[in-house]
Structure 1
Amino acid sequence: MNIDMSSWQGRIDPEDGDNGMRFHQKVQPADKANEPGITLLGFACDEGVFRNKGRIGACEGPSEIRKALANMAWHHQLPIYDGGDTHCDNHDLTKAQKCLADNISQALHQQHFPLTMGGGHEVAWASFQGLANHLIQIGISTPPQIGIINFDAHFDLRTPRGDSLTGSSGTPFAQVAEFCASQNWPFHYACLGVSRTSNTQALFNKADDLNVLTVEDHQIHSTSLQSIQESLATFIEQCDHLYLTIDMDVFPAATAPGVSAPAAHGVDYSMVEALLNPILNAKSKRGENKLRLADIAEYNPRYDIDGHTSRLAARLIWTILRSLNNELYVQGV
């Protein structure tokens, strides 16, 4: 395994000892992992964005997110590892997704929490496959109750066809729905921050047909927050495993300019953070975290301004990882 650790550089405050540590001083290569912790994975791919007629550049996202995360203060408990990047060679998206899915399954098998930095939102199909494969490998006896929670301006429920027959950044949750139907698994999907101007009526109809928990961008504000949190809590209650995915275009363009499809309205960061709380704090009956994996998608450095979006992505990762503490999921059904 050849892992490039060059992005992990930053300030060092030796006078503060262990209390002055930053992320870049704590991250180790995944091949040095000797105890369960957090595995950061990069998905340096925007082939799905290209197929979906979006603005390419998200393949450069993982390294820039690492640089933004590197200098953040360390207030975490679990060991953290870098598992390197998965690339999409020769436009072979299916192969790239399988490679990432295998890496995620391996991390879960080793009792790590995998967090993937994209890359286009085609990462979601790989993330779900990684969790599904892991659950199958450990011998689940009943269909798993997996809840997908997506903060996104788009449903990403397009049907693969034409040049995108094997998928794109706009198809991952349609692919998940088809997989679940083929396995007789339930499909639990929540999409928070949807922009009606960016999704056709056909996509809203499909979301209704699939019983998707839908909250539009303009509906998320301080006066509606409690009601949305209650709906989200009900959604989480029916799930045993949670997969969190955040598309950076859920935020307003002024906050997150570095994305493939900037949002005219978007959702304020404080609202997203408040809605993350019930997800990050969700526990099983055994007291373990329900959240099994997460990813950040669609960060595009080519359109960022002064690192605004990379720092926002890094802050989201920082927040997610701090919530884990020492309560990783113990392997089993």
Structure 2
Amino acid sequence: MYQVADMSVWQGRNDSEEGALGRRWHERVQQLHEAAAAGTALLGFACDAGVSRNQGRPGAKEGPQAIRKALANLAWHHEGHVYDGGTVACEADALEDAQAELGRQVAHLLAAGHFPLVLGGGHEMAYGSFLGLARHAELQKRRPRIGIVNLDAHFDLRAGERASSGTPFRQIAEACEANGADFLYLVYGISEPANTEALFHRARSLGVQWRGDEDCHRDNLENLLDTLTFFADQVDWLYLTVCLDVLPAGVAPGVSAPAPYGVELPVVEALIDAAKATGKLMLADIAELNPSMDRDGITAKVAARLAWRLAR
């Protein structure tokens, strides 16, 4: 289920005449190894099972490689190390096994001092990512309070006996309750037409904080950032997850559920920067890239830009 990194994907333009300052990602990303110095570790989650179970448009399993290919040719402006940590690939409908394996890999990366940046893949990855962070938290002398910031058009709090791309945060809430931990969840970009009243009711009952897509605009950015800062002040660790369907369909067409309204890219990037600025960001992921639905690779390029920003 876990596949080591295929470094052949890291290819691109060579500007050797520019010297060291002309380097690109494909020239700097290294294959992760046990003795690697602390850095950002890319980890793919190649999975369609959650989207299929959620009655969405399959194709997200190709997302990790598409993001890597888009990253490969981007300019290198980073000071730290970036590694390719391989991919967790879901076999057939074995979603629960894939989530468990993702959790093991994330926990391993955190224990080694890396910043895991998970590339998806459907948003069912969020449950696996959280499992890894929670496992790492259990090893600390004092269990840290974990806060989740999600940039997403959807709550992903759906009911249902089987896990899917619509259930990860409900699963996390249940895991928190079972372990006596607080479920601290803040979502930016919620689309009211795309979430049933049942989901709003569940969000209220779980104490979820959210900001609707109509409120997530540049004129309201100061308020949005203040909300994130206040939320971060209440926790020890932050987990940031970005579902690409939070962006307008014109910017991110290659997703399972394109957003007719969405949150513009400058606001998404400002929120990412604010999360990093807290100094509490332990883990991040980028979900729901579906290359088969992408137009001119634009969504992959947007995802790569966000990964570039998170790794910087």
TM-score by length of 2: 0.97
2:262 is aligned to 266
Give the partner amino acid of 1:128.
F
Counterpart-to-counterpart distance in 2, 1:29 and 1:95: 25
Give the partner amino acid of 1:80.
V
2:303 is aligned to 313
Give the partner amino acid of 1:250.
V
2:192 is aligned to 196
CA apart distance, 1:80 = 1.0
Q: Are residues 1:73 and 2:75 paired?
A: yes
Counterpart-to-counterpart distance in 2, 1:127 and 1:308: 26
Q: How does 1:97-246 map to 2 (within 5 A)?
A: 97-136=99-138, 138-142=139-143, 144-161=144-161, 165=162, 167-246=163-242
1:22 is aligned to 24
CA apart distance, 1:98 = 1.0
CA apart distance, 1:33 = 4.7
Q: Cα RMSD over matched residues? A: 1.1
Change (3 A) 1:19 1:33: farther
Whether contact under 8 Å (1:33, 1:81) holds in the other structure is: no
Give the partner amino acid of 2:303.
A
Whether contact under 8 Å (1:21, 1:74) holds in the other structure is: yes
User: Aligned with 2:7: secondary structure?
Assistant: coil
**Deviations, residues 253-302 of structure 1 (Å, cap 9, x unaligned):** 111000000001001001111222221100xxxxxx20001000000000
Instruction: Using the aligned pairs only, state the percent identity.
Output: 50
Whether contact under 8 Å (1:62, 1:119) holds in the other structure is: yes
1:326 is aligned to none
CA apart distance, 1:32 = 6.4
User: Aligned with 2:43: secondary structure?
Assistant: strand
Moved >6 Å (runs of 4+) = none
Whether contact under 8 Å (2:49, 2:92) holds in the other structure is: no
Counterpart-to-counterpart distance in 1, 2:61 and 2:297: 16
Q: Are residues 1:31 and 2:21 paired?
A: no
CA apart distance, 1:90 = 3.2
1:84 is aligned to 86
CA apart distance, 1:3 = 2.2
Whether contact under 8 Å (2:9, 2:68) holds in the other structure is: yes
1:330 is aligned to none
Change (3 A) 1:118 1:81: same
Counterpart-to-counterpart distance in 1, 2:294 and 2:92: 27
Counterpart-to-counterpart distance in 2, 1:141 and 1:160: 33
1:329 is aligned to none
Unaligned runs of 5+ in 2: none
Counterpart-to-counterpart distance in 1, 2:174 and 2:47: 23
1:3 is aligned to 5
Counterpart-to-counterpart distance in 1, 2:266 and 2:140: 40
Counterpart-to-counterpart distance in 2, 1:84 and 1:277: 26
User: Aligned with 1:6: secondary structure?
Assistant: helix
TM-score by length of 1: 0.91
Counterpart-to-counterpart distance in 2, 1:90 and 1:174: 23
1:297 is aligned to 287
1:248 is aligned to 244
Give the partner amino acid of 2:28.
K
Counterpart-to-counterpart distance in 1, 2:93 and 2:141: 34
1:44 is aligned to 46
Whether contact under 8 Å (2:4, 2:87) holds in the other structure is: no
